[in-house]
Amino acid sequence: MFDIALYEPEIAPNTGNIMRLVRNNGCRLHLIEPLGFSLEEKKLRRAGLDYADFGRISVHHDYPAFLQAVAGQRLFACTTKGSRPHHQPAYQPGDVLLFGPETRGLPDEVLAAVAPEQRIRIPMQPDSRSLNLSNAVAIISYEAWRQQDFAGAQ
């Protein structure tokens, strides 16, 4: 369906929650190293509740290796600096939703390589800074899936 990519994620429970999420919404997960934790970490497994289906998870040594793996797919940078609300793009199966690390977001050089219309944001109140990473992934991935009429769901 869709690909979720976490650029240098830092917090094991967030990634574990996202592992559980993709197990339920049919997305594939890409983890871009370096990671701020070990994939064997107990907090990661507990948050993922053993849904960590590693057949649907790819780990990439660095960002260029990730880009090579998803070459030919549309990439959306999910960022508070996005120029477009997340519900406006017409998502297509195979699109990649790229999220930055919890404490700093996507680096400027990554954002600069993504077309402005593919830098998306979740609308928030003016005095809010950001959402939890796993919440942001849920909001955007479910909007993309909704646009596909929840294909494959029961």
Binding site per annotation, positions: 100, 122, 130
8 Å CB contact between 11 and 102: yes
Cβ–Cβ < 8 Å for 14, 132: yes
Side chain identity at 28, as an amino acid letter?
Answer: R
Binding site membership for S-adenosyl-L-methionine: which residues? 100, 122, 130
Contacts of 51 (CB under 8 A, 6+ apart): 19, 20, 23, 24
Closest C-alpha among 44, 33, 42 to residue 9: 33
